[in-house]
């Protein structure tokens, strides 16, 4: 598999793995896995998006399938198998004379260590038989990910000594002699340890797919965003996944590679940028997205500039931090890779004139990177109007207005450039007792 490129700043801005401020990490959206190893796998999927259309599609189709097989063992049984495989005591080659000599001692003397081995062996025998049932029950029209899973199960069992185990233990409840337990224990914990672990990993993939399917169904997410090799980019009825009763919006960018988003303070520009970017991120993970439908380019990288820190230690102001971050992401764009780049409120760390001139200068730079999509929010209306007739740019704004001395934010995303100015009104309203 090949993975989408990103960096720590982007993961921090989007709260992928952890949260710097109030909110939730993206992983928590799909945190309902049934097994600890399934949880880790889900975290790995979300932390490392893919950039290969075929690999993304395989995950999407498996998650969307209505006939996903259930995990054939209980969570406690899987946990015990994992514990047994990690248990390193009493691993030795089986000898039938030794097994025979210790039979009576094992019958009459309770040994917790022997219990771990006997139960571990029986559970793995059950695991192998349940995987065989899963393999045989996989129909020919199953998603490719599940077909590959079935083939992996077949190859792992029938091209190894595990075949003998399956054939000789058709009755999972049959009593096994001490020698057979010792023989299988050595096989499972030593000879074929990695094979058993790889088979267990297939169940954790099922756990992840089931969890994603359940979340998509409960939240009415889109399971199969269309991933394309062109720059066609649109999303219908998208929302921010962690905002309760969030307003859904539509957005598209075709024929242009720069989208400038305007609107007053508190209208929802930053939240909307994050909502779109999170949808793109999840789509590249192969996971359902909070939208009705989506067409998304397969990007090679995602980079954001949203919550930039200044640095007292380095003597770096916020304005300088913004310039250096923009330089950093443009160097990524200059490699020729297809990137999604998010710039939220460029140059907020300087005066209005400098911010305007700097924004115009950066926008002129961005126009030449036609291989990338840039989403930029700004409260500088003059900057947006400078490029109003430029074919490389499209324009959206967050609707807001003042009605009867009330500030109204509809959180509706509309095409065009905002004309609303509420800063002075807010100052007069909130500080009226002091003015």
d(CA 257, CA 266): 26
Question: What's the token pair of residue 2?
Answer: 């090949």
- Structure token digits, residue 36: 């600890």
**DSSP strands (E only) in 254-366:** 258-262, 293-297, 301-305, 339-344
Name the percent of the chain in helix, strand, coil, to the closest 5.
50, 15, 35
Q: Residue 252's beta-bridge partner residues?
A: 234
pTM for this predicted structure: 0.91
Please tell me what DSSP assigns to residue 188.
Answer: I
CA–CA dist 420, 265 (Å, integer)? 10
Write down the pLDDT at residue 287. Answer: 97
CATH 1.20.140 fits 31-219, yes or no: no
- One CATH from 3.30.230.10, 3.40.640.10, 3.40.50.920, 3.40.50.300 for 226-430: 3.40.50.300
Element (H, E) at 306: none
Strand partners, 50: 3
Delimit the domains of the chain by residue range.
31-219, 226-430
- In order along its 435 residues, the chain shows pLDDT tens digits of 899 999 999 999 999 988 866 678 999 999 889 999 999 999 999 999 999 999 999 999 999 999 999 998 999 999 999 999 999 876 666 555 555 555 545 555 566 788 899 999 999 999 999 999 999 999 999 999 999 999 999 999 999 999 999 999 987 677 888 888 989 999 999 999 999 999 999 999 999 999 999 999 999 999 999 999 999 999 999 999 999 888 999 999 988 999 999 988 777 899 999 999 999 999 999 999 999 999 999 999 999 998 876 554 555 677 888 889 999 999 999 999 999 999 998 888 788 888 899 999 999 999 999 999 999 999 889 999 999 999 999 999 998 777 777 777 788 999 999 887 776 666 677 777 776
Residue 416's closest CA among 392, 434, 393? Answer: 393
């Amino acid at each position: 598999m090949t993975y989408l490129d990103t960096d720590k700043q982007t993961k921090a801005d989007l709260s992928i793995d952890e949260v710097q401020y109030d909110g939730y990490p993206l992983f928590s959206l799909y945190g309902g896995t049934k097994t600890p190893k399934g949880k880790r796998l889900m975290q790995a999927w979300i932390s490392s998006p893919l950039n290969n259309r075929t690999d993304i599609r395989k995950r999407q189709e498996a998650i969307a399938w209505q006939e996903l097989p259930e995990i054939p063992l209980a969570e406690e049984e899987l946990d015990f198998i994992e514990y047994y495989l990690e248990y390193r005591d009493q691993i030795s080659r089986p000898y039938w004379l030794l097994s025979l000599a210790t039979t009576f001692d094992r019958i009459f003397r309770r040994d917790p260590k022997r219990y771990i081995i006997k139960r571990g062996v029986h559970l793995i025998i059950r695991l192998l038989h349940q995987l065989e049932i899963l393999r045989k029950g996989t129909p020919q029209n199953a998603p490719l990910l599940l077909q590959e899973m079935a083939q992996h199960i077949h190859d792992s069992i029938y091209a190894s000594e595990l075949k003998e185990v399956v054939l000789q233990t058709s009755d999972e409840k049959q009593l096994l002699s001490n020698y057979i337990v010792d023989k299988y224990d050595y096989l499972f914990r030593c000879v074929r340890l990695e094979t058993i672990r790889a088979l267990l990993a297939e169940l954790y993939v099922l756990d992840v797919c089931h969890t994603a399917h359940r979340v998509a169904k409960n939240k009415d997410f889109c399971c199969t965003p269309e991933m394309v090799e062109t720059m066609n980019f649109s999303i219908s009825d998208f929302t921010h996944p962690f905002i309760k009763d969030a307003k859904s919006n539509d957005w598209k960018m075709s024929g242009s590679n720069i989208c400038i988003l305007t609107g007053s303070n508190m209208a929802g520009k930053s939240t909307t940028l994050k909502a779109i970017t999170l949808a793109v991120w999840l789509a590249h993970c192969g996971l359902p997205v909070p939208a009705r439908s989506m067409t998304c380019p397969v990007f090679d990288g995602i980079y954001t500039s949203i919550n930039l820190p200044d640095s007292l230690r380095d003597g770096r102001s916020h304005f300088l931090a913004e310039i250096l971050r923009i330089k950093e992401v443009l160097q990524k764009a200059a490699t020729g890779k297809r990137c999604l780049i998010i710039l939220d409120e460029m140059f907020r760390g300087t005066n209005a004139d400098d911010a305007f001139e700097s924004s115009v200068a950066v926008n002129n730079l961005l126009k030449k990177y036609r291989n990338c999509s840039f989403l930029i929010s700004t409260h500088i209306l003059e900057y947006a109007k400078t490029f109003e007739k430029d074919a490389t740019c499209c324009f959206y704004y967050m609707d807001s207005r003042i009605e009867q001395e009330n500030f109204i934010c509809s959180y509706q995303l509309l095409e065009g450039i905002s004309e609303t100015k509420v800063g002075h009104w807010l100052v007069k309203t909130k500080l009226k007792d002091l003015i």
